[in-house]
Amino acid sequence: MGKANDLKVYNDVELLAGWVLDLSGNFPKQYRYLAQRLVNVTFDCMDDITLANLREGTERAMFLDAFVVHFTSLKTILRICTRKRIVSVGNEAFFLRSSANIGRQIAGWKRATLNQNR
């Protein structure tokens, strides 16, 4: 196994984490808990990728599933923030473009992992 930060998907999520950190700094005071949740879930996603990279077979698939759960949570929080007008529609669009790319990479990685076990 190579290092997680050698993976394109890890680097893409790391860039997204920087964007989330910048974005969360602009949240109104009454929504700071949402900003912190966004940051935490983003770093959970990075942890999931790192752990998946260290494992093989069904254990890897398990961490990729955990990534999907965390990433879905991230998308949901951002969607709610957009509806509350905490996050602009333009920022949400940027996130959705990034998340589609990341989602394809994770799906491909999981598919390859499951095919290796057959």
Q: How many residues does the chain have?
A: 118
Closest CA to 95 of 76, 72, 75: 75
Whole-number pLDDT of residue 60: 93
Whole-number pLDDT of residue 4: 67
pLDDT 10s digits, 20-61: 999 999 999 999 999 999 999 999 999 999 999 999 989 999
Tell me the CATH number at 35: 1.20.1440.60
Q: What is the count of structural domains for the chain?
A: 1
Whole-number pLDDT of residue 2: 67
Region 53-74: mean pLDDT is 94
**What count of other Cβ atoms lies within 10 Å of the Cβ of residue 8?**
10
Whole-number pLDDT of residue 42: 96
Whole-number pLDDT of residue 116: 82
Closest CA to 69 of 106, 96, 97: 106
* pLDDT greater at residue 115 or residue 90: 90
Closest CA to 95 of 18, 43, 36, 33: 18
C-beta separation of 67 from 48 below 8 A: yes
Region 73-94: mean pLDDT is 94
Q: 70: domain range?
A: 4-116
